[in-house]
Structure 1
Amino acid sequence: MLLIDDDDDLRTALVDSFAIAGLEVDDFGDGVAALAGMEPGYAGVVVADIRMPRMDGHAVLEAVVALDAEIPVILMTGHGDVAMAVAALKRGAFDFIAKPFAADHLVASVLRAMDARRLVLENRRLRIAAEDAESHYPLLGTTASMTALRHALRQLAQVDVDVLIEGETGTGKEVAARQLHRWSARRNRPFVAVDCAAMPDHLIDEVLFGDRGSGGRIAEANRGTLFLDEIDSMSTAMQGKLLRIIEERELPATGAAGPRIVDLRVVAAAKADLAAAVARGDFREDLLYRLETVRVRMPPLRERRADVAMLFAYFLREAAERFDRPVPPITGLVEARLLADPWRGNVRALQNYAVQTVLSLGGEPAATDDLSLADQVARFEAAVIADTLQRVSGDVAAAADALQLPRRSLYDRLQRHGIDAGTYR
């Protein structure tokens, strides 16, 4: 902490009081010298007298607030009154203490201020850590392919061009698109994701282009990023309408309203080879040319197996926090699966396995010596259901068929075991 007071005797006495309380203090006779080396991340508290030559306490407060408004400043004065106290507090002072005062009164105020400052700095650290993790998650990996992918996305983020992202199911195409948006100048504008595979033609027209009552998802993405997931599933008729939007950046007129200009970046994702789809006549060649200004390929896990263990450890901690469970150890059986499994579902499948491991539904089963037969059967049933959901990518109807169960019966079991099919999609 910093103590600033031009009264040498009082300053010496206060230094002794702070030392008895276990507080380290740097003392100065004037504010100019005290603040000369202060930085925004200063972890302490400033205690300053109001009446001082050169730089009084009010000026000290203003200088500290200008540097970092959350550094606590405690002001002391022998000429205090209510008006001065209120004015100082409104300008950002943490506390105001009038002389004469008991030393323990000032020490108590300093301790509260130190605790407040500690919390402020801890929250800043956590926020920075979260932002840093978000800036890479789950594009985690030290392999050459992931390093190259992150570099490419950062470079592309600075250039406002359309991008085609190709990759197998579960490789993180939408995550890459979101990262591209976050790193771009459009980061404070909308990121609008449209799952082209989830909508039939009679709905996708209205969803994308809107009607008289709404502007549609394309209009929502104005000045931001439009992400078209699984664009390879879109019909050729809809591809033609989309091509015009991409070429002209203009929505068709609706009712009395004329055409609407849209400023957006289009990022499309496809799990299939679009060139092969063009050859089969399933995808328009002119739309492919328009979308593939830049192509980005998401590598499957089998091409970056060295990243599997690190990714799994990350997902394990994430799942443990989500379900309020302890992080389980990676046993020999779990490690063997990490090394041997082809991970056909890629990152998504690995994340699902982490959830199963935290919930004791996958990998090495937990000890069952103390479990009743009914509990052991329930655990086995939950594991079978979870494994089936993973195989069918969370499709409850397909899982019910595979397990030869009525769909209602499967839903009852999902509820009983606390299994969310959505986590497997």
Structure 2
Amino acid sequence: MTTPRDDAARPCNLVYFVDDEAAMRAAIKQWLSLADFEVVAFERADDALQQLSPDFPGVILSDVKMPRMNGLELLRRVSAMDKDLPVVLMTGHGDVPMAVDAMKEGAYDFIEKPFEPEQILEIVHRAVEKRRLVLENRRLRQQVTESTGPTTQLLGHCPAMDRLRADLHAIADTDASVLILGETGTGKEVVARRLHELSSRAANNFVAVNATAIPEQIFESELFGHEAGAFTGAQKKRVGKMEHASGGTLFLDEIGSMPLSLQPKLLRALQENRIERLGSNDSIPIDLRTVTAANIDIEEASTEGRFREDLLYRLNVITLRIPPLRERGDDIVTLFEHFKNAAATSHDRPAPALSDSDIALLMAHTWRGNIRELKNTAERHVLFANTGRSLTSILRPLDQSSDPEASDASLAERVDRFERTAILRGLKTHHGNIQAVCDALDIPRRTLNQKMLRHGLNRQDFIVSHSESSDAS
């Protein structure tokens, strides 16, 4: 029997296989190992049971007919420990009543010997994916419980998000100005708030200012404040955003939209750490950290004269980039599950389960609105679940660009979207195994690599949660 290692160190591609026949243990272990699963074989069910825990990062594959403890009893024991831990049963003596009993007891699936290797591999792949999502959802719920607030969550574990979290921890406890770049809806303010919470300024104010939401004629008053009588309608003194943020963090969102005429005043205030309210000659000291965000090419705007170059240099000491949702691989499903569960709790509704086709649809969608669109879609999915509406009917009208047959798309656009969807689904299905995707799509490896580069698809995004640790060992 293979000696199990500590569960905490394992990826979620682990299979505990229980069978009293040595030949079957050897054959199944070989098949699954060739498919990048980590397999621990047991002769007796009670030995496997002793190694299990509620957060076991894998699945159970077990024979039914065994001495001492049979597969059905093992299933009952496992279900009592963790009802969401998938158990797949197999037997050479099975019949329909036994299969029905096993499914009633909570078996994930039931397979009768003899079987083809591809059949057991397909079932185990699905079971492992389900387990991964269950464990990820548990981790996310724990994060929300421990967090100071749900808006501070940086969820997901694609390589780009792991790097972003590492960068935040590296720079949080400094006063360096930070520029956050990302498309609309990617969560730039969430990153800014997290940066504030990790810093020594966390006990003081985090003040957010959206440059696109403030009319130009009152922008200066909003930023610097004013004295009573400074202009028509200024009936009393008002503290501006920069003064209110003193001691904490000032977050200037959509900074590229800031009126050009006000940029020199902001630059001077940041350089001198002092502001003057409108209608006053008194200089007020301020102590704040500046975090800005843009969804445009701010350097291009500076080159074209739409943004001051000297202000850009002052704001852009450190640059953080947030990837668009479409480039985050499995994070799409992880985030959807998180928002779905949150919506179910908020509206006191059941959280509908995702089918394999639902997952494929989520992964193929273009998500032009990024996380904001994903969150709204998850909430609609919960609210309309009892009406029988499928996720497809909810998602398709939001963005026809994810549909290769969209009527307003040219032939080239339809072909391009279909190609990206096919490759993405292949990578998802085969967990980043490039050769398997090549075989499934019947294209050369070099061609696949070129198309993945053109469509912004990264193999690492699809293997990080499945076999990356095994590949490195």
From 298, 314, 318, give the equivalent of 1:290: 314
Of residues 175-184 and 230-239 in structure 1, the stretch that sits farther from structure 2 once superposed is 230-239
Alignment partner, residue 186 of structure 2:
171
1:185 aligns with 2:209: no
Q: From the superposition, tell whether residues 250 and 303 of structure 1 become closer, same or farther in structure 2 (CA, over 3 Å).
A: same
Alignment partner, residue 156 of structure 2:
141
Distance, in Å, in 2 between the alignment partners of 1:270 and 1:161 is 17
Distance, in Å, in 1 between the alignment partners of 2:220 and 2:317 is 25
Q: CA deviation at 1:286?
A: 0.6
Alignment partner, residue 154 of structure 1:
169
Partner of 2:335, secondary structure, is: helix
Distance, in Å, in 2 between the alignment partners of 1:235 and 1:151 is 34
What is the CA RMSD across the aligned residues, in angstroms? 2.9
Distance, in Å, in 2 between the alignment partners of 1:358 and 1:308 is 17
Q: CA deviation at 1:334?
A: 2.7
Distance, in Å, in 1 between the alignment partners of 2:143 and 2:296 is 37
Q: CA deviation at 1:233?
A: 0.8
1:358 aligns with 2:382: yes
Alignment partner, residue 452 of structure 2:
none
1:233 aligns with 2:257: yes
Q: CA deviation at 1:246?
A: 1.3
Q: CA deviation at 1:366?
A: 6.0
Q: CA deviation at 1:279?
A: 1.6
Q: CA deviation at 1:257?
A: 5.4
Q: From the superposition, tell whether residues 363 and 197 of structure 1 become closer, same or farther in structure 2 (CA, over 3 Å).
A: farther
Larger Rg: 1
* 1:158-208 per-position Cα deviation (integer Å, ceiling 9, x unaligned): 111111101100110000000000010000100000111011111211111
Distance, in Å, in 1 between the alignment partners of 2:327 and 2:289 is 30
Distance, in Å, in 1 between the alignment partners of 2:397 and 2:348 is 22
1:340 aligns with 2:364: yes
1:214 aligns with 2:238: yes
Q: From the superposition, tell whether residues 387 and 196 of structure 1 become closer, same or farther in structure 2 (CA, over 3 Å).
A: farther
Distance, in Å, in 1 between the alignment partners of 2:254 and 2:205 is 20
From 304, 327, 334, give the equivalent of 1:280: 304
Q: Percent identity?
A: 42
Alignment partner, residue 311 of structure 1:
335
Partner of 1:170, secondary structure, is: coil
Alignment partner, residue 218 of structure 2:
203
TM-score by length of 2: 0.49
Counterpart code for 1:184: S
Counterpart code for 1:199: I
Counterpart code for 1:343: W
Alignment partner, residue 83 of structure 1:
none
Contact 2:147 2:153 survives alignment (8 Å): no
Alignment partner, residue 4 of structure 1:
none
* 1:227-249 per-position Cα deviation (integer Å, ceiling 9, x unaligned): 00001111111112111111111
Q: From the superposition, tell whether residues 137 and 214 of structure 1 become closer, same or farther in structure 2 (CA, over 3 Å).
A: closer
Q: From the superposition, tell whether residues 365 and 133 of structure 1 become closer, same or farther in structure 2 (CA, over 3 Å).
A: farther
Distance, in Å, in 2 between the alignment partners of 1:284 and 1:134 is 36
Q: CA deviation at 1:314?
A: 0.5
Q: CA deviation at 1:331?
A: 3.1
Partner of 1:227, secondary structure, is: strand
Alignment partner, residue 346 of structure 2:
322
Gaps of 5+ in 1: 1-125, 368-379, 392-425
What is the number of equivalent residue pairs in this alignment? 250
Contact 2:226 2:240 survives alignment (8 Å): yes
Detail structure 1 runs of 4+ shifted over 4 Å in the superposition.
Answer: 126-129, 132-137, 253-257, 361-364
Q: CA deviation at 1:335?
A: 2.0
Distance, in Å, in 2 between the alignment partners of 1:332 and 1:291 is 45
* 1:21-45 per-position Cα deviation (integer Å, ceiling 9, x unaligned): xxxxxxxxxxxxxxxxxxxxxxxxx
Structure number with the bigger relative contact order (C-alpha 8 A, sep ≥ 6) is: 2
Contact 1:331 1:364 survives alignment (8 Å): no
Alignment partner, residue 115 of structure 1:
none
Contact 1:337 1:363 survives alignment (8 Å): no
Q: CA deviation at 1:363?
A: 11
From 249, 255, 269, give the equivalent of 2:273: 249
Partner of 1:357, secondary structure, is: helix
Partner of 1:305, secondary structure, is: coil
Q: CA deviation at 1:143?
A: 1.2
Counterpart code for 1:182: E
Partner of 2:217, secondary structure, is: helix
Gaps of 5+ in 2: 1-140, 228-236, 401-473
Contact 2:152 2:191 survives alignment (8 Å): no
Alignment partner, residue 118 of structure 1:
none
Partner of 1:176, secondary structure, is: helix
Alignment partner, residue 455 of structure 2:
none
* 1:222-273 per-position Cα deviation (integer Å, ceiling 9, x unaligned): 1010000001111111112111111111102554551000000010000001
